[in-house]
Amino acid sequence: MKDTIKFLHTADIHLGRPLKSASQAPDHLNELFNNASYNALKNIFDQAINRRLDFVVISGDLYDSEARSVKASRNFLEECRRLKEYNIPVYIISGNHDPGGKELEPFDYPENVYFYPSEEVEINNHKNDSGNTLARIIGQSYRSNFESRKMYTYYTVPDKNHFNLGLIHTQLNPDNRRYVPISQSDLLEKDDIHYWALGHIHQPLVLNSSSPALVYSGTPQGHNISEVGVKGCFIVEVPIQNPEKIPQINFIPTSPVIYKKIEFNITEMDERLKTLSDLQELLLEKAEKQQDNNFTDEIDFHGIDRENVFIDGKAPVKGVIIRWVITGHGPLHERISSNQDEAEEDLRDFLNRNLASPGNYPFVWTHSVQIRTSEELPDLEEFKENEIYKEIDKIFKEVSNNPDLEAKLLREWGSIWEGDEDHENRDNDSFYPDPETKQEIIEAARNKIIAYLFAGGDDI
């Protein structure tokens, strides 16, 4: 007789959403980009079958659209039939991308698949072959793309004698009326639920590892350059007789394609970097090393030490999509600063010609190159008492700390920087100016002005 329950927690699969890569990708890569989410789903269900798990839970946004595509639904149906052969049930809530639940599905699913309704909370009792309840899975689906109901208040269970698992698709923001307004403390106070399987945030997050555990599985496959790193799902194991014990949480890599941002600083490379050809060769060397990367060392669970989350298995990476950010200063800056756009395009095309040939796996595809080099700054110690220097420093500190000045600055940057903090509500052609990005741009402008005024070392 088994003494533990083992289940798989995933969410935000977004079947039907192709990867946002770069223009002019060859056909063999476009095929992989378009099918990455389907391959990630197969990797997930392979894990469930190979490990003989008790069940799978999907915490919303299985599909990318309320109008499920036939291809996406057919793909999911075939994968669920595989699970049925091993008597593994799947419990699913719909999220803001795929509200409505079962009534919008174009196919009939086997009896091992359960879609939670949107009008009320329901409990499923997961039982063993003898008919004994091993776990209760509680859930409710979205009615529409926005969900303002505080669903969690209705997640009630008879007792704590069995393992109780709650499925919710939420941003965990009590002031956000779009995606189930609740807070982390709200869920922690409901200690009759042992594990909250959360969806909506695409980064794997273990917000609380003890009972009640609060866990975002993240998306099993990143879809754009802002979703960097290895993605996956969690396999969770808890004792049947002691459901309040801290669960064992294992992260399982599933993403066949990953996005990365790699910074390359030219400051210390003066001897090797005189021309654009030199930079091409150095980037090519760095890119080729990515093909031997295990990638799992770079996973960050944002909320708990890596030592408390086990990473199980090698990342099944077939390719890497990279945004290169070239920073620093040196002789090369003078050669490319006046034709920066052309230099970025030339570097991108050079790397893709050399690294994206068919059969070369894992492939490395350059999404874009951003050149952020600058003129070499003078030694500023001798200028720090200069009145002009002090005035410049004062202005930039005010811009960084004054909300009104910051808002004015963003308006000057243009509408492209008016993106919403909520990634689900952000226009595709806009960027969200997060604090780190804003500071980088402000610092770059400060350095450019200082270099222009003081680089000659003349008195001002």
Judge if the upstream peptide bond of residue 212 is cis by omega within 30 degrees of 0: yes
- 324 falls within a domain: no
CATH of the domain at 149: 3.60.21.10
8 A C-beta contact, residue 121 and residue 166: no
Amino acid at site 398: E
Q: Answer whether residue 55 is part of any domain.
A: yes
Q: Give the span between the Cα atoms of 179 and 146, in whole angstroms.
A: 6
Residue 447 lies in a domain: yes
- pLDDT given at position 459: 46
List, in sequence order, the alpha helices (H) in 63-169.
70-84
The total of other beta-carbon atoms located within 10 Å of residue 131's CB is 7
Evaluate if residue 378 carries a pLDDT over 70: no
**Does residue 384 share a domain with residue 236?**
no
Domain count, the chain: 2
Phi then psi for residue 8, to 5 deg, are -115, 130
At 286 the three-state DSSP class reads helix
Q: For the segment 281-334, what is each residue's pLDDT rounded down to a tens digit?
A: 999 999 988 877 767 766 766 655 555 566 776 778 888 999 999 988 888 888
| Percent of the chain surpassing pLDDT 90 | 54
The residue among 236, 253, 270 that closes a domain is 253
Q: Which two tokens stand for residue 323?
A: 């945004």
Answer whether residue 347 is part of any domain. no
Average pLDDT, the chain: 86
Domain-ending residue, one of 253, 277, 309 = 253
Cα dist. 191→103, 161, 332 in Å? 33, 12, 60
Residue-number span of the structural domain to which 55 is assigned: 4-253
> Could you please report the per-residue DSSP string of 227-258?
SBS--EEEEEEEESS-TTSPPEEEEEE--SEE
Give me the mean pLDDT over the 28-32 stretch: 88
Tokens of 55: 């069940």
Cα maximum dimension of the chain:
89
- Whether 357 is covered by a domain: the verdict is no
Q: What is the pLDDT of residues 193-203, one digit of tens each?
A: 999 999 999 99
pTM of this prediction? 0.86
